[in-house]
Amino acid sequence: MDLSFLRPLYERPGPYVSIYLDMTRTAEDSSKLIELRWRALREKAAADGAPREALAALDDLVRGHDERRTSGGLTAFATDAGVVLSDVRDAPPVAEQVHYGPLPHVMPLLAGGPEPLPYLVVVADRQGAEITRVGRDRTRRTTEVRPENEFPIRKPHGGDLNQSRMQRAAEDTWRANAKAVARTVDEQATREKAAVIVLAGDPQARSAVLDELSKPVLARTVESRHAEGAPLAEEVERAVELAETENLTGRVERFERERGEGGRAVTGLTAVTEALRRAQVDTLVIEDHPESTDRLWFGPAPTDVAASAADLRAVNIAEPEQDRADAVLARALAQTGAEIVVLSEEGPPLEHGIGAVLRFAA
């Protein structure tokens, strides 16, 4: 998972209040239940020392989502300067919780399922297409590709010479419009790094667009015979889920390959911490253990990570801080451009439940 979306959290000084709140609406009194659940989390955060300013900002955020009747799960991170980052998911969190500490507690967010991948949905007809881009944060943006040539669109019937010319003109128009659609799909799929492109709509229009797509984009394209509604939505969901599963499997296989023959992988908290201090980690592989009590020390720089305060003081960091190990690891990963794979189910055996693929051998 690309962690660049977390960087704003580490550009603002803490401490942080991190909340994971169930906003599910299944009853008439859902608003009251949400209020009670938030109040319980709020009271715990206050008891742990969270500043009133951070809690007030979270009050406004929760109230705003409640008024918009948002359903699902709300994650938010706030300091005394306000809410720095929030995220709404379709599903509620596995467990409601609040954490107050020097760093944001992001692991429950990262462990919330496979890495969300960007994708495109293209509904094509003989005049153009409607292209919907869906980002990692599930923001949707739609653009239309309208015909470069509007006439003729339909082939004429009959067999005289004039009709033959009209038929060829119609076919030329389809091809020109398909090229325009394919060109736009290529551009958007490349720019957005779309993991999958679902091509739906008119069968002949789909075929013409497929003929014009670049090979890299074509390899990530799947067809749907549906053009709208629930059937198309279901096919899109299946295609995206498959792409996300294959992405996760591929990353785990890469780790196992590097640990075996490649020689660019390490396991264990000590080895991973040392690699992070050298900005050597490309991808962290970690088991999800919410109950973990492991802690690490950190300093002002992203690579200031150690198992003890003495290790950091030895490199002239006067006032190291301590927090959950997974919070410290996530900060270092996000700020050094590394990625993460969270294993919520059975995966490769890992010493201390953690390993890393390295950018370069030690």
Flag whether pLDDT at 345 surpasses 70: no
Q: Which residue has the higher pLDDT, 161 or 357?
A: 357
Q: What is the mean pLDDT of residues 54-66?
A: 93
Q: Is the pLDDT at 207 greater than 90, yes or no?
A: yes
| Chain Cα centroid distance, residue 139 | 11
**CB-based contact 14:99 (threshold 8 Å):** no
Q: How confident is the model at residue 161 (pLDDT cuts 50, 70, 90)?
A: very low
Average pLDDT over residues 207-233: 93
- What is the domain partition of the chain in residue ranges? 4-110, 119-246, 263-358
Query: In the CATH hierarchy, which fold is given to the domain comprising 119-246?
Result: Nucleotidyltransferase; domain 5 (3.30.420)
Q: Report the chain's mean pLDDT, rounded to a whole number.
A: 89
Report pTM: 0.80
4-110 folds as 3.30.960
pLDDT exceeds 80 at position 173: no
pLDDT, residue 298, reads 97
Beta strand residue intervals within the chain, DSSP E:
16-22, 73-79, 82-89, 97-101, 119-125, 128-134, 140-145, 196-201, 221-223, 265-267, 281-287, 295-298, 305-306, 321-324, 339-343, 354-358
Tens of pLDDT, residues 249-306: 899 999 999 988 878 999 999 999 999 999 999 999 999 988 999 999 999 999 999 9
pLDDT band at 214 (very low <50, low <70, confident <90, very high): very high
Q: Which residue has the tokens 């690490």?
A: 296
| pLDDT tens by residue, 12-32 | 999 999 999 999 887 778 889
Instruction: Pick one of 3.30.1310.10, 3.40.190.10, 3.40.50.720, 3.30.1330.30 as the CATH number of 263-358.
Output: 3.30.1330.30
Pairwise CA distance, residues 239 & 230, whole Å: 14
124, amino acid identity: A
